[in-house]
Structure 1
Amino acid sequence: MDIVKKPRERHASVIANLLNQNRYVFVSGKQMTSMLATNVDEVVRFKSCWHNLERDQYMADGGTYRYRRYGQFNKGKHSQQLVMLPHQAYVQPAAVNPLNGDVKRHFEPLTDRFIMSPILEKLLLMMSDVYDGAQGQATNWNIRLHPYRIITDGHSVGKPTPEGLHRDGVTYIASLMINRTNITGGETVITDDNKNVLERLTLDKSFDIVMSDDLATMHEVSPITPVCLDKCAYRDVLVIAFTKMEE
């Protein structure tokens, strides 16, 4: 008997197949907006959360161009519920992050406005469907969320990936474009393990997203500079890391 898949599951299956074939997949903001069944009011409220980030005090390069918050959820394989974890320090090994690794970084937690956004829940559940499909089975996931704002002005460039070409030491990594305001640059490069370029693309529209198999690829984003020096210039993204949890 044929089973008709729900629209979210059907789209997730297609994206999962592309992710497995190419080790990364780009989905346009237009398609994402349709898949998330969102509306203008929800989008405006979600995007406004990026105006309430705090400056990253842990930049080993001395940079003052990055603003962020941080939080974690777990998603069980037999559940459609996202469970927020107690707030804690964020640590990456130096082997993964040579710039800021092996340091307990105490970032400000995610705001209630961000956590309660209908978009966030729909986004994370959709992504778990994609990654379940890529794994070939329902999976227990740890999800780490990093909303970033990278600023630039006439005195300094902004560096979305100050650590350079890297991986994040997770199972899947994704970048969701939120706002791109008065900037040039910000090109995403995805490579294989041997640093051979697989793709160059620029996340341009709100909700443009690139999802990558972090175990099979590396990535970096080129610096940004302002187009008009007398206006604010920044790049807002949500970086979403899914890590497969042990049974």
Structure 2
Amino acid sequence: MTLTASTPRDLADTRLTLTHALQRVGFAFVEGSCMRPLLEQVRALDDWQAFVASWDRLEPDAYLASVGRYRRRRHAVFSAERTGLVRREAHQPHYQSLKYNPLQGDIERWFEPMAESVSDGATLSSILAFTRDFFGNLSPDTGAWHIEVHQFRIEALPGEPGQPTPEGVHRDGVDYVLVLLVDRTNIVSGTTTIHDAEGRQLGSFTLTAPLDAALVDDARVFHGVTAVTPEDPSLSAHRDVLVVTLRSKARTS
């Protein structure tokens, strides 16, 4: 399901349309022109430019050294009740089982922490509150969430494509996922594909503009992203995204 700005609608109608899409097919693609007002309904994105600039300060993903050095990232963990504040937790590793990540599963991966100026800023605060409320609507029995936030930069070099999902088409082993485009510079491809449990493709779309977003019911569908290559090999090329995952605290990892 794709939500664009071509059909005027109020914010309540937009939320309802997205809710129905997640319930019906397990995913939705939202153009940034629709996503921005949803986020600004929570809080103005006053620090957006500083938020975007923080991707220039990500650190290499050392766990990918054996397959390539094209990914930079930072990581943070939050918790949230159904209402109230979203709280940042002490820095901790990111863990996925081999069931969900055959490339890097069953290990604790420690990444450099997200800067406090980013985690405390207006933009991320708005994004986290939106995801908590939107996905919480889809899961009314969930009282508290474990939330992980990943800043990713995928770099592409001549002859060395960047792999946004080196593990291939996969699930993250959580309840819900938000993928939000922050910046895309001199990049070709990077198409997101959505699949059912039998591997059939349900849809595809490419995040091209800031705040373009994918909303995914991770328990129902699989997702992957095709490799990115430089449009102009003589210039630097990267794809910057924010990934937010939510898992009920009642679930074990």
Asked if Structure 1 and Structure 2 have the same fold, meaning a TM-score greater than 0.5 normalized by the shorter chain, the answer is: yes
User: With structure 1 as the length reference, what TM-score do the two structures score?
Assistant: 0.91
Structure 2 residue aligned with 1:43: 48
| Structural mapping, 1:127-166, within 5 Å | 127-137=131-141, 139-166=143-170
The yes-or-no answer on 1:188 pairing with 2:192 is: yes
Determine the C-alpha separation between the residues in 2 that align with 1:133 and 1:16.
Answer: 8
Greater share of residues in strand? 2
In structure 1, what residue type is equivalent to 2:100?
Answer: V
The yes-or-no answer on 1:244 pairing with 2:248 is: yes
The yes-or-no answer on 1:16 pairing with 2:16 is: no
- Alpha carbons of structure 1 residues 9 and 124: separation in structure 2 relative to 1, 3 Å: farther
- Describe the SS at the equivalent of 1:58: helix
In structure 2, what residue type is equivalent to 1:48?
Answer: A
Deviation at 1:130, TM superposition (A): 1.1
In structure 2, what residue type is equivalent to 1:68?
Answer: R
- Partner residue of 1:234 out of 233, 238, 247: 238
Larger mean CA deviation between 135-144 and 80-89 belongs to: 135-144
Determine the C-alpha separation between the residues in 2 that align with 1:128 and 1:33.
Answer: 16
Deviation at 1:68, TM superposition (A): 0.3
Deviation at 1:41, TM superposition (A): 5.1
In structure 1, what residue type is equivalent to 2:161?
Answer: V
The yes-or-no answer on 1:28 pairing with 2:31 is: yes
Larger mean CA deviation between 192-201 and 42-51 belongs to: 42-51
User: With structure 2 as the length reference, what TM-score do the two structures score?
Assistant: 0.89
- Alpha carbons of structure 1 residues 46 and 218: separation in structure 2 relative to 1, 3 Å: same
Structure 1 residue aligned with 2:61: 56
Determine the C-alpha separation between the residues in 1 that align with 2:76 and 2:215.
Answer: 19
Determine the C-alpha separation between the residues in 2 that align with 1:198 and 1:188.
Answer: 11
Aligned residues: 240
CA contact (8 A) 1:19 1:212 kept: yes
The yes-or-no answer on 1:219 pairing with 2:223 is: yes
Determine the C-alpha separation between the residues in 1 that align with 2:204 and 2:58.
Answer: 28
In structure 1, what residue type is equivalent to 2:159?
Answer: H
CA contact (8 A) 2:46 2:122 kept: no
Unaligned runs of 5+ in 2: 1-9
Deviation at 1:244, TM superposition (A): 1.2
Deviation at 1:21, TM superposition (A): 1.3
In structure 2, what residue type is equivalent to 1:29?
Answer: G
- Describe the SS at the equivalent of 1:199: strand
Larger mean CA deviation between 59-68 and 226-235 belongs to: 59-68
- Describe the SS at the equivalent of 2:179: strand
Determine the C-alpha separation between the residues in 2 that align with 1:93 and 1:242.
Answer: 16
1:106-154 deviations in Å (ceiling 9; x for gaps)? 1000101211220111111111111121124563111100110000111
Determine the C-alpha separation between the residues in 2 that align with 1:107 and 1:187.
Answer: 26
Deviation at 1:49, TM superposition (A): 1.2
Structure 2 residue aligned with 1:103: 107
Runs of 4+ in 1 over 3 A off after TM superposition: 7-14, 38-41, 136-139
What percentage of aligned pairs have identical amino acids?
32
Structure 2 residue aligned with 1:74: 79
